[in-house]
Structure 1
């Protein structure tokens, strides 16, 4: 059974950095994001880890885990919202107090997806893969990114619909700040490997493939147990996005996932847009998607609104989803079904 948190308007949000913190020269961005959230009616409590960054992490693993554990236990905090991702979140997993994980939303992406997937697999508590806190610093938000609040305030038994974005940001341009944060100027087009419209249904799981692949073979990546004992053998729909991997490394990662049983009883895979699609030899990402679709005999949709090329939808790990894609467009309906 999946257990869904519920975000209440005016809730207190705990800001902690289980991966990377914010370096001194970027503190103003964090303050701005917090002030925007406060203007929207939320209260924020920032932990000490968010203000520090040293040797690719906000603090030693035990320090990061301790702050996270404290915020999870604090009944006055209704949501955990890290500033952004990083590199070494996996170090904190062994120090998390898994018996004290409470039903409150944790949202983020990139390296944070390691924590999100581990929490859902181990506890059955839904987690939210979506824009980071830093991404909330704009005067206003695009319609895709801004849907996170609608998604997290969805009641158990209800559903929420998200449409594919009209435009996406091809390249980051931090030297040209805009009221919307993102510069959305390229037409979005969801692609289907079969070149035909598809409809996929199953329980969502996923994250950044660069980092969640390292959960394979650990106590925090037991997909088989989750599927058999938490979602009663329902099919899984994976959403995956790539930060830094070339095509061959993505292929190796996907084969490892397949051999580990992560794609057993899989209804389909959604791949986010990537700004680092580097072929190896003549082996392209499109070649890899085609091979995977044929091997697994499932529909594959790519260039969706997910990951490091914004904007991105908010995907709920554990939610029952129906995804329809065709003619460059996509619709994702998520049901908050136990």
Structure 2
């Protein structure tokens, strides 16, 4: 059975730690902005040391990051954990995490943070939340898609959460931009798609994240999908969601083949791919070719250009939750049941 965290209560404490990258001094203002927004909303915030430092592609040495994360995962007074953002080499702390001592609580983020979320859910059966990062919550107002993250953080077992696709998404990043009124500059119409252009309904238990980092977990103890199915899902199907941060079309395809050959897509109800700023074609080979070939190999239905990942805003997806996703005429709805 999937275990769901208790809801984040009014006045509860949110832990801020950087298990992957910290925030360099030049950008401390956006970290402070995210912290202050939760204080304004009535929450207590406990900030570790790692969010404030960054050297050699990480906030600190692996052992230091792990100690701080273990403390926050185990402290019952901390009700949710939100890293400032993702990064590059979170996976080096996985051997140092005390998996059997984790207290169920919402852990939120995306990019390299999804490496942690994925491993927690697969290793322990504790639900985690794939959604916006702390620094992207630094505005007084949150757009209609982003603000639904609070429905998850205050949610608990038995809840049903319904979200819909955004109206527009952000095409480029600018961390120097002042919120007006949102952190994101939503400038391009959103258009969820299916491979055949027809309406699509897919369902299963959600799991996924950033394919750039998750592919590196194949064959490790932190991504035993077969054992995860047998222990926590029984005869249910997985509903995958994946997003490409930096890979070319051929890198992306090789990664999908790796996951397929490793058996990740067995007993799957569908795959949702997020919008990507990457996916450069190689000699005419495109990300569309990659998705079409995967569909031909597996027979799994696919939706893409979804509100997931590095072209925000993001629908907040709960790893482990039952979900039904419907896509039609460029719009989508996501119904999650925390049960």
| Normalised TM-score (structure 2) | 0.98
In the alignment, the residues of structure 2 paired with residue 85 and residue 175 of structure 1 have an alpha-carbon distance, to the nearest angstrom, of 18
- Kept after mapping to 1: 8 A contact 2:271/2:302: yes
**Residues 158-194 of structure 1: CA distance to partner in whole angstroms, max 9, x if unpaired?**
2000000000011113343232010001100000002
- Per-residue deviation at 1:151? 1.9
1:46 counterpart residue number: 47
Report the Cα distance in structure 2 between the residues aligned to 1:135 and 1:111, rounded to whole angstroms: 15
1 CA distance for matches of 2:206 and 2:191? Answer: 21
Is the Cα–Cα contact under 8 Å of residues 194 and 299 in structure 1 kept in the other structure?
no
> Partner residue of 2:58?
57
Change (3 A) 1:171 1:63: same
Tell me which of 277, 293, 296 is aligned to 2:295: 293
Give the match for residue 320 of structure 1: 322
In the other structure, the counterpart of 1:169 is 170
Contact 1:169–1:309 (Cα < 8 Å) also in 2: yes
Q: CA deviation at 1:314?
A: 0.4
Contact 2:177 2:183 in 1 (8 A): no
Question: Are the equivalent residues in 1 in contact too, given 2:326–2:332 (CA < 8 A)?
Answer: yes
Which stretches in structure 2 are left out of the alignment for 5+ residues? Answer: none
Whether 1:213 and 2:177 are equivalent positions in the alignment is: no
The unaligned stretches of length 5 or more in structure 1 are: none
Match of 2:98 in 1: 97
Counterpart CA distance in 1 for 2:338 and 2:68 is 29
Matched, 1:153 2:154: yes
Distance (whole Å) between structure 2 residues aligned to residue 233 and residue 51 of structure 1: 44
DSSP-derived class of the 1:220 partner: helix
CA-to-partner distance for each residue in 1:110-161, whole Å, 9 max, x for gaps? Answer: 0000000000000000000000000110121101011000122223112000
Q: Distance in 2 between matches of 1:105 and 1:154?
A: 9
Match of 1:182 in 2: 184
Separation in structure 2 between the aligned mates of residue 157 and residue 33 of structure 1, nearest angstrom? 29
Paired with 2:326 and 2:294, the residues of 1 have a C-alpha distance of: 19
Which residue does the alignment assign to 1:107? 108
CA RMSD across the alignment: 0.9
- Partner Cα distance (1:141, 1:50) in 2: 22
What does residue 30 of structure 2 align with?
29
Does the aligned pair in 1 maintain the 2:75–2:103 contact within 8 Å? no
User: Cα offset for 1:277?
Assistant: 2.4
C-alpha deviations, 1:62-91, integer Å up to 9, x for none?
A: 110000111112111001110000001001
1:1-338 aligned at under 5 Å gives the runs: 1-5=1-5, 6-178=7-179, 179-337=181-339
* Equivalent-residue separation in structure 1 for 2:175 and 2:219 (angstroms): 38
C-alpha separation in 2, matches of 1:84 and 1:327: 32
Cα shift readout 1:48-73 (whole Å, capped 9, x = no counterpart): 11111011000110110000111112
Deviation at 1:276, TM superposition (A): 1.3
Deviation string 1:1-58 (CA, Å, 9 cap, x unpaired) is 0001122222100100000011111111111111111001111010011111011000
CA contact (8 A) 2:164 2:333 kept: yes
- Aligned-residue offset at 1:203: 0.4
TM-score of the pair, normalised by structure 1: 0.98
- After the TM superposition, list the runs of 4 or more consecutive aligned residues in structure 1 that deviate by more than 6 angstroms: none
Give me the whole-angstrom Cα distance separating, in 2, the residues matched to 1:105 and 1:95: 20
Please give the per-residue CA displacement for 1:211-266, whole angstroms capped at 9, x wherever unaligned: 01111100000000011111113100100001100000010000000011100011
Cα distance in 1 for residues equivalent to 2:60 and 2:333 = 40
The count of residues paired between Structure 1 and Structure 2 equals 337
